[in-house]
Chain A
Amino acid sequence: MKRREILIWSICSILSVGAAVGIHLSAATVNATYPTRNIQGVIMWGAGGATDTMSRAITPYVEPLLNQEVILTNRSGGAGAISTKYVHHRKPDGYTLLYGAENPQLHGVLGLSDVDYREFYAVNVLARGISVIVAHPDTPWRSLKELMEDVKNRPGEIKMGSTGPGGLPYVIGAMLGTQGEFDIIPVPFDGDGPAITALLGGHVDFLPSGYTATSEHIRAGRLRALAVVNDQEIELLPGIPPLTQDYPAFKKFLPWGPFYGVFIDKDAPDSVKTKLTEAFHQGASDPAFEKFVTDFGAIQMNVSGEEANVFLKKWQSVTTWLLHDAGATKTSPEAFGIERP
């Protein structure tokens, strides 16, 4: 055998042994206790938003339980469709987590994307936000009923702050619209913050908004809370009547609000699902995190799997049909097999 041939043979054998070992190792990583390396966490919205804050708050509680670091990156865009598709297209091995909000549940009917949470396994739906309807203190309304009657008397004159179609104020506006004539001027802003700033300055008259962003302004008397979007009074806002007090018909839509959760591709192995579910359940049960959720003005859910699916399904059905009836959808929810509530 020539020298050259020996060399080639030895290289080939080393490579094949290496490959075999590599395959074996990679097979072993699936079988060995997950996770064996860093996990990537993709946050659906940009830095500083509610989803971002919630994601960065839960992760440090979970990392020690998984014995691995979760590296968080913000990948916003397309109202959450970009990150949702990205995680869905990754290998379903549990090494890419989606830290998401409610948005994908509406992507179908809004024509943004056909991937929603039905393609995912809900590791944990951490919390749902509470919404309130607030008004500028210079307005005469003391209750939701007074506001609704004023809208009836002065159609097309009262300005509602909004965050665009599909946003929280828009959906609550659509909910209010189910009670007969509701002709208001929705003025869309870039998000909760800018909308509240406009309300503080008196550039709009009322605003359905997340409790978190408005609570301190309500406490300081700079904004007046008219109603809580819930079916009962909540501890954090004593004395503020629930939406159902004057309008019991709203009960069928509730509980409704933005939510925050952690998701993986539904094709991930069961062992991975179990491991993640346990870790996030335990992390979210930490009293310090529970306190954070309360301070953040949200209601802790800490549910996963089937239990979370029931919630996600109801949320999607209520919201998509509300939007559809208000004429804000591109495709009927029916086309996606979403049942009417």
Chain B
Amino acid sequence: MSQALEYFSIGWMDPQLFFLTAIGTFAGIYIGAIPGLSVTMAVSILISFTFSWDVNEALALMAGVFMGGVYGGSRTAILLNIPGAPSALVTALDGYPLALKGDAGRAIGLSTVMSFIGGLVGILILMIAAPIISNFTLAFAPRDYFLLAALGLFLVGSLSAESLSKGMFCGALGVLLGMVGLDPLTAEERFTFDTLELTSGIPYIAAMIGFFGFAEILVQLHHLDVKPVRQNLDKILPSLSLVKKYLPLSLRTSSIGVIVGALPGTGGDIASLLAYDHAKRSVKSPTAKFGEGAEEGLIAAETANNAAVGGAYIPMLTLGMPGDAVTAVIIGALFIHGIQPGPLMLTETPHLFWFTVGNLTLANLFVLIFGLTGISIFSRIVQCPKGILLPLIFVLCVVGTYAIQNSLIDVYWMLGCGFLGYFLKRYGFQVAPIILGIILGPLMDVSFRRAALSVQNDISQLLWEFVSNPVSLVLTSAIFVLLITSVIKSRQQKAAERAD
């Protein structure tokens, strides 16, 4: 135990490592906040940059960038309605309405504290239960990923505001957009019309920036005369009693975040989507309606995506397998620094586990510190006159999209999705289900076909496996419970409407 504590504190005691983690977290927050600049990209650039360094220094910097970057995505989501990363998508749903009401400061304060709590839960579970969870994730067969994605699709109901049919239309549109490109199983071209550029599909970050950022600019052009709301900057820090009140919810959503983050096929984006759905179903009386500035929605999203960071490290540290794209890059970095990632890493490089846990804890603390400074300045962005703000956001959208993979085609996609999103918004369609479809569609598609191939396309065998395997059984029953409760709820609502 004292050994563990010693390794844990390496990053805290060494001033250089301490400083590197701080720098990493700070840089991560701003890289994460810029749509299009992803944490994955930042960490892979760091590989060549930290090439000649000591491995501990490189890992400290990367842990900081990772932790900060995931949190940073919430900034632009709340202030500008442009999620800095896909995992901050649901943050925008309730964060941006809060900002429009003049509560941007409070929303950022709350999301920072909740990100910290989520991150902490993730690290704690990594610390205590890493081997158990990594064995549990191995039990997930392709059919279970399919069931998980199907579970996620229920979110369409949560995301579609008034009209479920419009929400379903948008979800289906998203699935269709996600289909474009090379079929991941057979490399057959789908909807590519014989153009090389379409073979890599429509990058969903470009679509997200278009549907959220650019479309929002176009909508705002209708309201140029509306004066921005004065931001209320008195109570930025959430009170202790408020944190206490939300603790049960944040613990539940953090746990969802850790598990989904630890699954090798899913990351922070799906984690926050599932957590949001859970919050919407379990919270009886939110502070505002979900989608119109409910604090619970913001909390679910922010705890889950930060808890997913700890989750992603679980398979990396125990098995040497990446939990997401960022840990995949970190594994590459370990190779270059002469460490063999694998199941023996924990015994052969004993300091690595506790050192990483220590670093992540430190980085998480820096998220809290850096996150809570400068909120009042950032909140004023929303107060900025639209004539200045909108062109700036537009430039940010274009630059961010171009930065994804230095491709102008992506910028055209962003603009196209923006125009489409504008018309959809004008006619009362929600754009969030489109992104949901783009994210979940391909996962459902490949997982289902993988599962079907594994049983030689024998559908009765597949259905039997849905209920005969413990993991699948839990997921299948969850789907049925959701289905039944949704039906009952909508009947009750209809009955109540009739009674009125």
Which residues does A use to contact B, with CB under 8 Å? 46-49, 52-53, 56-57, 59-60, 72-79, 81-82, 85, 110, 112-113, 156, 159, 164-166, 185-190, 193-194, 196-198, 200-201, 203-204, 212, 215-217, 219-220, 222, 291-292, 295-296
Contact = CB atoms under 8 A, between A and B. Distances in A.
A56 B44 contact: yes
A85 B200 CA distance: 13
Contact of A201 (B141, B186, B201, B407): B141
B246 interface: no
Interface of B: 40-41, 43-44, 47-48, 51-52, 138-142, 182, 184-187, 196-197, 199-201, 264-265, 315, 319-322, 325, 328-329, 331-332, 335-336, 338, 340-345, 405-407, 446, 450, 453-454, 456
A48 B336 contact: no
A188 B335 contact: no
A260 to B, nearest CB: 13
Contacts, number: 150
B332 A187 contact: no
Nearest to A203: B141
A146 B402 CA distance: 52
Contacts of B186: 164-165, 188
Contact of B328 (A193, A196, A215): A193
A164 B188 CA distance: 10
B48 A216 contact: no
Contacts of A156: 456
B325 to A, nearest CB: 6
Contacts of B322: 48, 193
A187 B454 contact: yes
A187 B453 contact: yes
Given A166-B187, A186-B453, 20 more contacts: A47-B43, A49-B328, A53-B47, A56-B51, A78-B182, A79-B182, A85-B196, A110-B187, A112-B196, A188-B453, A194-B265, A197-B319, A198-B142, A201-B138, A201-B141, A216-B320, A216-B342, A216-B343, A292-B336, A295-B338
Contacts of A217: 319-320, 342-343
Contacts of B140: 201
A188 B184 contact: yes
B195 to A, nearest CB: 10
Nearest to B344: A220
B26 to A, nearest CB: 22
A56 B343 contact: no
7 contacts: A48-B44, A56-B44, A56-B51, A78-B196, A212-B335, A216-B320, A217-B343
A204 B43 CA distance: 32
**A-B CB proximity, top 8 nearest:** A216-B342, A77-B200, A48-B328, A47-B44, A201-B138, A53-B332, A78-B199, A48-B329
Nearest to B264: A197
Nearest to B201: A77
A112 B43 CA distance: 31
B369 to A, nearest CB: 29
A130 B337 CA distance: 21
B335 to A, nearest CB: 6
B407 A75 contact: yes
A188 B342 contact: no
A53 B140 CA distance: 28
A187 B142 CA distance: 10
Contacts of A187: 142, 450, 453-454
Contacts of A47: 40-41, 43-44, 325, 328-329
B142 A75 contact: no
B344 A76 contact: no
A212 B336 CA distance: 13
A295 B331 CA distance: 13
A53 B336 contact: yes
A178 B184 CA distance: 26
B340 A60 contact: no
A11 B407 CA distance: 37
A222 B320 CA distance: 12
